[in-house]
Amino acid sequence: MQARLLHFPSLLLSYIQKGCFMNGTIKTILILLFCFWAFMVPPVLVKAGVVISDETQQCLVCHAKHGLTKVFENNKSIEAYVDAGEFRASVHKELKCSECHTDFSGEKHPKRRFRNSEQYKIQAALACKRCHTNEQLKTKSIHAAVLDDEKGSHTCTNCHGSHSIKSVSKKTYKSEEQHCLKCHGQEFSVEFKNGEKLSLKVEMPMLQASVHKKLSCSDCHFGFSQAQHPQRNFRSRRDFFIAGSETCRRCHFDKYTKSMEGIHYAKLSQGNLDAPVCTDCHGSHTVVRFGSNRTLIAQRCGKCHPQTFDIYAKSAHGNALFDEHNQDVPVCIDCHTAHNIENPLSLDYREKIPDLCSNCHANKAIMGKYGLSTDVVKSYLSDFHGVTLSFYRKQREKSDKPSRLIAVCTDCHGTHSIISARNIAPALVKANLVKRCQVCHKDAAGNFPDTWLSHYEPTLTSAPLVFIISLIYKIFTPILAIGIILQIMLHIWRYAVNR
């Protein structure tokens, strides 16, 4: 092997010795070349003892050096450099240069013109097809997808490289990501059975910005690896995404099980393929942490619930969120939860509403900032509606089924449309309230809303009658009780003394 490898310098030497067709200058060049070979090339070529054809060696004389460039018509250029070491390690190491670069040989070196590097690459890659026929290539699914894609400008060398081409099974990359992005960094798409297409290009910057940046591709794309690339057929784009989101549960099992209790999953399992799966809200390669970005959460929900989103955006809560970037106000998931989303039209959910509101409205730390009363929930719960509701909820637990609807917070305040009552004329509030009261209390008249003391403890000014009555009893009841007890005790004492 060694002897054959060193064939090139001996050839040079014989040329130099013969000197038959040389003048002095050429001879000097040849001697210099020999010196270069003696000191530079052998460490590269001889290293593992790889056979390289004579022709290749001849070409490498020039092309193994940096500095040669090919200039295209658009004035861009590429280097006509071949890394001898990489070529030595490639699967094509035994091929002659002219077997791919067909127009070239030791004698011929035609000048050709290309518009740009793309055109050049496409032209050059045609050589591949001379050995690797389309039929042969299509036996691999990945090639089939690429070859059938008419729009994509896929060249073999984009994925496989040119002079450094390696056997796929033996090829190693520094990371799996590099391996996958070799192809998936390119623009190409897959076609589903129903004709829909999906770009399979993965945007690297997005991937780097995602919370999953430290994961490898196969951590999510289960079943795929540097060795395996199974072919999967999906009916539609949607099927593909639904199947793809199944991988999330492998790490986020808690969220997955929660979502199985949710209405989205229920809709999906009823056959509504539009029901969102993990990736619809979280994204796939672009998974970001919602964290403090509560605006983003509302917007994500708004993608599918635009009408509700619009109403919310105009409400007191939505206004504060979008205009003031207020982080105290509830976004969708604070009431609906993120994963185990209940059907908000169910009776169970309805009866939980006072709890949901009280999460914030009974919290002094939050309400204090806005000068809002924290008694709202307490005053609701201690009045007729609240008492009835709390009993209904407990009765339901005991499998009793009271079906009557009881007014909860949202019935008077609205749900997504909640607005502050501060800037509205009291008369208007009252007029609106009457209408709401009449939904249940059919014979309610204009005075009826006044029966409700508006979440405030009665005071001498707000509700004098109630205040005075309560005050009198607060004083009188203990006095009476103490008086009676004293009488009884005196009576017993006297009786005991008399005995």
Number of shown-chain residues binding another protein (CB under 8 A): 46
Question: Which CB, 370 or 473, lies closer to another protein?
Answer: 473
231 lies in the binding site for another protein (CB under 8 A): no
Site for another protein in 422-441 (CB under 8 A): 441
Q: CA-CA distance, 72 to 56, in Å (whole number)?
A: 25
Closest approach of another protein to the CB of residue 347, in Å: 15
347 lies in the binding site for another protein (CB under 8 A): no
450 lies in the binding site for another protein (CB under 8 A): yes
473 lies in the binding site for another protein (CB under 8 A): yes
CA torsion, points 363, 364, 370, 374, in degrees to nearest 10?
70
- Only segment of 10-18, 255-263, 285-293, 399-407 that touches another protein (CB under 8 A): 399-407
Question: Which CB, 370 or 493, lies closer to another protein?
Answer: 493
Task: Output Rg (C-alpha) for the chain, integer angstroms.
Answer: 41
Question: Judging by beta carbons within 10 Å of its beta carbon (0-12, 13-18, 19+), is residue 334 exposed, middle or buried?
Answer: middle
Closest approach of another protein to the CB of residue 481, in Å: 5
Site for another protein in 402-421 (CB under 8 A): 402, 404
Question: Which CB, 310 or 450, lies closer to another protein?
Answer: 450
Are the CB atoms for 349 and 335 separated by under 8 Å?
no
398 lies in the binding site for another protein (CB under 8 A): yes
Strands of 94-249 (E only): list them: 189-191, 197-199
Q: CA-CA distance, 191 to 148, in Å (whole number)?
A: 9
102 lies in the binding site for another protein (CB under 8 A): no
Q: CA-CA distance, 300 to 34, in Å (whole number)?
A: 69
Mention every residue, 6+ apart, whose C-beta is less than 8 A from residue 393.
351
Token readout for 475 is 């004083």
Closest approach of another protein to the CB of residue 412, in Å: 15
Q: CA-CA distance, 260 to 266, in Å (whole number)?
A: 7
Looking at 337-463, list the stretches that DSSP marks H as alpha helix, in order from N- to C-terminal side. Answer: 347-361, 364-370, 376-381, 384-397, 409-413, 426-440
Closest approach of another protein to the CB of residue 400, in Å: 6
Token readout for 405 is 């609807």
Amino acid of residue 199: S
Question: Which CB, 21 or 495, lies closer to another protein?
Answer: 495
394 lies in the binding site for another protein (CB under 8 A): yes
- Only segment of 200-208, 250-258, 415-423, 460-468 that touches another protein (CB under 8 A): 460-468
- Only segment of 57-65, 232-240, 278-286, 400-408 that touches another protein (CB under 8 A): 400-408
Question: Which CB, 222 or 493, lies closer to another protein?
Answer: 493
320-323: long-range contacts at Cβ-Cβ below 8 A with a sequence spacing of 24 or more? 321/294, 321/295, 322/295
Q: Pick from 173, 253, 456, 493: which binds another protein (CB under 8 A)?
A: 493
253 lies in the binding site for another protein (CB under 8 A): no
Closest approach of another protein to the CB of residue 409, in Å: 19
Question: Which CB, 209 or 469, lies closer to another protein?
Answer: 469
Question: Which CB, 81 or 448, lies closer to another protein?
Answer: 448
Closest approach of another protein to the CB of residue 239, in Å: 49
Question: Which CB, 26 or 485, lies closer to another protein?
Answer: 485
CA triplet 327, 333, 334: central angle to 5 degrees? 60
Total residues belonging to the chain: 499
Q: Pick from 387, 428, 439, 460: which binds another protein (CB under 8 A)?
A: 387
CA triplet 39, 42, 48: central angle to 5 degrees? 150
395 lies in the binding site for another protein (CB under 8 A): yes
How far the first Cα of the chain sits from its last, in Å, is 134
Q: CA-CA distance, 451 to 441, in Å (whole number)?
A: 12
182-187: long-range contacts at Cβ-Cβ below 8 A with a sequence spacing of 24 or more? 183/142, 183/146, 183/158, 183/159, 186/152, 186/154, 186/158, 186/159, 187/152
Question: Which CB, 345 or 497, lies closer to another protein?
Answer: 497
Torsion angles phi and psi, residue 112, rounded to 5 = -125, 155
Q: CA-CA distance, 453 to 444, in Å (whole number)?
A: 16
- Only segment of 53-61, 134-142, 204-212, 395-403 that touches another protein (CB under 8 A): 395-403
Q: CA-CA distance, 125 to 255, in Å (whole number)?
A: 48
Q: Pick from 391, 424, 456, 460: which binds another protein (CB under 8 A)?
A: 391
* Residues in contact with another protein by the rule CB under 8 A: 387-388, 390-392, 394-395, 398, 400, 402, 404, 441-445, 447-453, 458, 463, 465-466, 469-470, 473, 476-477, 480-481, 484-485, 487-488, 490-495, 497-498
